[in-house]
Every structure is written in C-alpha cells, then in structure tokens.
Amino acid sequence: MFYFTFATAMGKYWITTAFLLLFVQAFAQFTDSTHYYLGFTGTGNINKTNTADSYLLNNGLKFGVRDRKVSLNFNNSWLFGKQDQKLTNNDYTTSLDFNLNQKKTGFYYWGLGNYTTSYSLKIINQMQTGLGFAYTFFDDGKNQLNLSNGILYEASKIRLSDTTSESYQTYRNSLRLYFKFSLGNAVVIDGIGFLQNSLNYKEDYIIRTSSSLSFKINRWLSLNTNIKYNDIAKTDRQNLLLSYGFKADLYF
C-alpha cells in the first residue's frame, strides 16, 4: 500500500511537470523578456530493522514565470510518512502567488491563494487568500532578502478528535521573511518563515518555517537537506521534519 501510494503521488508530480513544460513551450515564443523556472525537490528518510520501520518522503514541485514587472509562482508539496505501519504524515499544500511591480530593491505588491490538508497537523482542509505589500532589501540573482506583510482570509475545517471536527473562518495578519544566500557557485542556503496571527481569536496563530542547504553537482542538479517546522495553535499540533535528497531546477 505504501509503494502504491508513493508511486501514484509521484506519477501526479511528473504528469504536472510534463504539462508545465508543454505550457512553457507554447507561450515562450510570444516574448523574449519572460523568464521561466521549473524545480523539483525529492527528499526523505527510510529506516527498516527487524522490529521497526519508518518512512518519510518530502516532495516539492515549483513553476515560476517572471517578466520585468510581474511574477507568478505555482508551488506544490507533499509529505508522506509512516512509522511501524501507522500513518504519521499525509500532508499536501498547493499555492499560487503573484507579485506586481517587483524590483531588485524596494516595495511591491503581492497576492496569494493557498490550499492545505494535513494529517499530522489535524487540518482536514484550509483555504487562504490575501493581498499585501513587500520590500526587497537586495536581489542579485544569487542572494536575496525579502520581508512581506498582508491580510489573509482563511476558511478551515480541523479535526478535534477521531469523530468530531470544527469549521471556522478568520482573518489573519501574515508576516513573511524570505532569504537566499550563495557561497560561491556550489552552495546555496535559503529559507522562508511565516507568522500568521488571527485578527479574531487572540490565541490562534500559525508558524511555518522551511530552510534548505544545497550543494550543486552541476548546473541543474543539487544534493539537498531540508528542515521544516510547523506550529498550529488551533489544533495544538506541531511537527519538525528533517529530510535529505536531491533538487533539480531549470531556468529558461
């Protein structure tokens, strides 16, 4: 069952990748000033002994389009884990965001649509949409530091127990920090962090962080280590995930 689930999910990733490549080929002919990015990250841990076994597979797919004033990013991530044949993680997130009037430095505007379902965090489904502004401190292609803030509307359904659930809506202030630093041409450190406080409920907040360390093997392939932390106050759930594997990215 584990290998069937994994193969099915990986199949969806590669089908999506093929579709995005066809999309790029169809539209790239219309402008020479538009740039594209396609990236896939596959990381995980597998441990099997005579008395116990565990799996953790963390996969991500990203597609981006950018010209001089507008950028569009489509992200998917899927985390699947089992320990001693018991499900620990089956977490999926997809998001679409855009940036307007983005420059190498200075202010710009952003918009976001996000969907999350997470077994480990007891989120049955979560929809977020919002707008805001951001400031880029520097961006030279290899190094970047960016801070953004805005307001999100959220509609969620969470699992309180095995038999009960709760649906609710709230507005959140969403503060985000993104950084990327390159050490020469071989090592890249990047990370992103979110703090999302509810404007309706004082004790309701979301913390999400993700950081990675990549060692480039060639122009498009890297060895990758990733660490993620999530804290959802509404469900009183946290997780900390460390995984390692590879990252493939292509700019064109």
> What average pLDDT does the segment 65-87 reach?
89
- In whole angstroms, what is the distance from residue 54 CA to residue 46 CA? 6
pLDDT in tens, 158-169: 998 888 999 999
* Cα angle for residues 70, 187, 112 (degrees, 5° grid): 25
* pTM tops 0.95, yes or no: no
Q: Which of 10-14, 49-53, 74-78, 236-240 is predicted with the least confidence, judged by mean pLDDT?
A: 10-14
Element (H, E) at 136: strand 123-139
Token pair of 184 as six digits = 């020469």
Strand duo 35-48 + 53-66: pairing = antiparallel
- Domain chopping of the chain, boundaries: 2-251
Distance from chain centroid for Cα 199: 24
pLDDT at 242: 87
pLDDT value for 70: 86
From CA 174, how far away is CA 55, in angstroms rounded? 32
What contacts 193, CB < 8 A, 6 or more positions away?
Answer: 176, 177, 207, 208, 209, 210
Q: Name the CATH superfamily for 2-251.
A: monomeric porin ompg (2.40.160.40)
* Largest CA-CA distance found in the chain, in angstroms, rounded: 59
The amino acid present at 48, given as its one-letter code, is K
